[in-house]
Chains A and B, each alone.
Chain A
Amino acid sequence: MSNTRPRRSRLVVAREWARANLFDGPLNTLATLVTVAFLAWAIPAMVRWLVIDAVGYGGDPEACRRAGGACWAFLRVKGDVILTGTYPFEERWRAQIAAGVTMVAVAVALFWRGGVVGLAGLFVAAFVADLALLSGGIFGLKPVDSTRWNGLPLILFLSVFTMAAALPIGIALALARQSKAVVVKVVAVTWIETIRGIPMVAVLFAGVFILPLLIPPGWQFSSMVSIFVVLTVFHAAYFAEDFRSGLDDFDVGQIEAARSSGLGYRQTLRLVVLPQALRIALPALTNSIIGGFKDTSLVAIVGLYDLMATARMASADVEWQAYTLEGNIVVGLFYLVTCVAVSERFRRMAEARHGH
């Protein structure tokens, strides 16, 4: 008796839960049945392709030809190509370490408890380290042309450092937009609205086509520099708009209070306005940061090799042509994990600050 009672009650609980959540009325029951039918069709097909009919990571590439499912051995053979693309093979450890440095910098920044100066120093240090590792030419490292910075190190380098540079510019733009000085305001509004009005792909093309024309003849710079600059300009406009929502919701009385208690303009800004406005803008900023990270993949359209381009490169050989999807799935998993982790961390930060 004492054995059966908890089991029975659990069954009753389950039945009640099912009735309340799945079969509550005809419409709900219909929805449940349709959903179950869909899952019953989709899940077995997916499991069959992903697992049952698939060739494992350690499997024989030859077996992939005969198998009806996914070919995970593709990742073992072509993993290096997906990660670092055309980066010289014997030097690829440099690109791998560079990617690691960027990721560690982001992880440290997400749990940073120090001041702003230290945070800026962290990003500058990581930037310099990445640049030295990727381009070489110092410490006896072989020089590597920036067209061969591909895959994971490239997208981490471009997304993290352009956004890190864009954040202070974005804050300045948002403040400039509210400035009483007409010239300052016009510059800020033009910047923000023009960039926000045109697609990122067009902005990237502007970097490739227009930016090199703006510098004196004879000066040379790679498209990597152009892309870095326009991405920073692009992100700054969006951050400025997010930050403006923070400034708009900010209580003006606090500024007056700060000023009347003797704080100057800069002190008021640094101690009173910015910390609170940043907190209000954090959810919007999170969205822009995640979006900016994902959209950095669009550099593939102007000829840089992001992770999707290297995944395609990996399946360029005739014998591997059938496995683009496997590469895309792994790249997708990478984005899924990083985006969820970062946005979750930002959400915690927003909540923690809210508690104070």
Chain B
Amino acid sequence: MPATLATQVSPDLPRPRPSLFTRRRIRSAVWQTALAVALLTLGYVAHLNITRNLAASGVSIDFGFLAREAGFDVSEQLIAYTPKDSYARVLLVGLLNTLLLAATTLVAATVVGLMVGVALTSRNWLLRTLARVYVELLRNLPKLLVILAIYVLMVRRLPLVRAAWPVPGGGFLSNRGLYLPWPEIAVGGLALVLTLAVWLGATMVWARIVKRRQDLTGRRLPVALPSLAGIALALAALLGTGLLHVDWSMPVLKGFNIVGGAHLTVQFTALWVSLSVYHASQIAEIVRGGIVSVDRGQREAALAQGLRPLQILRLIVLPQAIRVIVPPLGNQYLNLIKNTSIALAVGYSDLVGVMNTAVNQTFRPVELMAVVMVVFLAINLTTAAALNWFAAATRPVGR
């Protein structure tokens, strides 16, 4: 037996090593060339087909139409827009709507997700179980269902405009959406910006001084309280001296409509609420994973040193959990941005929705899909770069 085995793997079997090596490289090169040629041919055939198919309906690939009049209206816009504006403009309107929805959802989902994630690790059985039910429910339902259900509920169950529910602080909630008071800066926009910049700088300098003092003496001076007091005083001074004048535009019920203030349409509100709730459940699970990754012993040690539970969370647990949390959270943010394209389901004019209408009007799917793809890839790359920077910034140093 050992003899046959030895003959099988006999070392002095003739092995043309260098020639095998070159042969393998040549073979690989041949295969790759063949693949490249096949792909190029396929691409060429696809191109031919596209041209011929488009020619059959009398168009050719040409981005010039972007300058032409769009002629259709959108559900809402952040910049001035009328149907007389160009396709390029309406796509920009759609992009801004997408970004608005993504940004507001990102903030709300993060805040709710963080709270629910902490609740998932709570020692309080009732709170923990409730959070678990919420997470499991949302994780196992399609987001389209969540959005449609919330949208239907809002349209059906909320009162008509003339019987709108008042929202604390002077707003209204009706089945046409949410109306909120909105500050309009009449005088002193520049003064406000300058004050905020000075405040931000001063807070950062103060935080650094506090940190240095703590390193030297071990005594920690308050940061948040003086900073908030400072900005409150500064704003009061600005308003008092008349350097800054803010008119609050209040929503008022007039006949069958509400005028003034900021109007969030029912589509936007439903999308914002449901996407936030949906992604919060995913973020909560990520946050929980980060928190449990921090060694229990550290919490006990901190407790033994006299830190309070919230202090332990803020000073010991979260700074360490954040390193585990950030990479999957980044992925979640990218998903969230892409998921805003579901807006079409309730008729909110996001980028994809506008693209869809434009395609149906112009029959220019290739150009419009290209625009949407480039925009989304650019958003993704920017977000990914920002997240990488953040991940690098929160990485532990020299330990």
Contacts and interface: CB of A to CB of B under 8 A. Distances in A.
Given A32-B126, A205-B355, A206-B369, A199 B144 contact: no
Interface string A173-190: 000000011111001000
Interface stretch (B48-56, B87-95, B259-267, B387-395): B48-56
A215 interface: yes
B366 interface: yes
Given A22-B125, A201-B352, A332 B369 contact: no
Interface in A286-305: 290, 294-295, 297-298, 300-301
A71 interface: no
A206 B50 CA distance: 13
Interface stretch (A134-142, A249-257, A320-328): A320-328
A121 interface: no
Interface in B126-141: 126-127, 130, 136-137, 139-141
B338 A198 contact: yes
A21 B124 contact: yes
B20 interface: no
A36 B130 CA distance: 10
A213 interface: yes
Given A301-B342, A336-B137, A205 B356 contact: yes
Contacts of A27: 309-310
Contacts of B124: 21-22, 24, 28, 31-32, 35
Interface stretch (B182-190, B210-218, B372-380): B372-380
A20 B128 CA distance: 14
Given A205-B355, A328-B145, A199 B341 contact: yes
A340 B136 CA distance: 9
B112 to A, nearest CB: 15
Identify the interface centre among B28, B124, B359: most chain A CB within 10 Å of its CB.
B124
Interface string B42-63: 0000100110111010000000
Contacts of B33: 183
A215 B376 contact: no
Nearest to A343: B140
Interface in B12-57: 28, 31-33, 35-36, 39, 46, 49-50, 52-54, 56
Nearest to B54: A213
Contacts of B309: 25, 27
B296 interface: no
Interface residues of B, number: 58
A328 B152 contact: yes
A339 interface: yes
Nearest to A329: B149
Identify the interface centre among A38, A183, A294, A298: most chain B CB within 10 Å of its CB.
A183
Classify the interface of chain B: helix, strand, loop or mixed: helix
A36 B129 CA distance: 12
Given A201-B344, A202-B369, A325-B153, A331 B376 contact: no
A331 B345 CA distance: 17
Q: Which range holds the interface residue count of chain A?
A: 35 or more
Contacts of A231: none
Contact of B342 (A39, A198, A201, A325): A201
B330 to A, nearest CB: 13
B366 A210 contact: yes
Contact of B123 (A21, A38, A184, A294): A21
A194 interface: yes
Given A297-B142, A335-B140, A335-B145, A217 B53 contact: yes
Interface string A1-44: 00000000000000000001110110110011001101100000
Given A184-B32, A325-B153, A294 B141 contact: yes
Given A22-B126, A28-B124, A217-B53, A199 B376 contact: yes
Nearest to A341: B140
B373 A198 contact: yes
B80 interface: no
B140 A339 contact: yes
A201 B373 CA distance: 11
B156 interface: yes
Given A28-B124, A35-B130, A214 B141 contact: no
Contact of A216 (B49, B140, B149): B49
B152 A213 contact: no
A229 B277 CA distance: 32
Interface of A: 20-22, 24-25, 27-28, 31-32, 35-36, 38-39, 180-184, 187, 194, 197-202, 205-206, 209-210, 212-217, 262, 290, 294-295, 297-298, 300-301, 306, 308, 312, 322, 324-325, 328-329, 331-332, 335-336, 339-340, 343
13 contacts: A20-B123, A22-B126, A31-B126, A32-B124, A35-B126, A181-B32, A183-B35, A197-B377, A199-B341, A202-B352, A202-B369, A210-B369, A332-B149
Closest 6 CB pairs of A and B: A209-B365, A199-B341, A199-B338, A21-B125, A339-B140, A294-B142
Given A22-B126, A202-B372, A325-B156, 4 more contacts: A202-B352, A213-B49, A217-B52, A301-B144
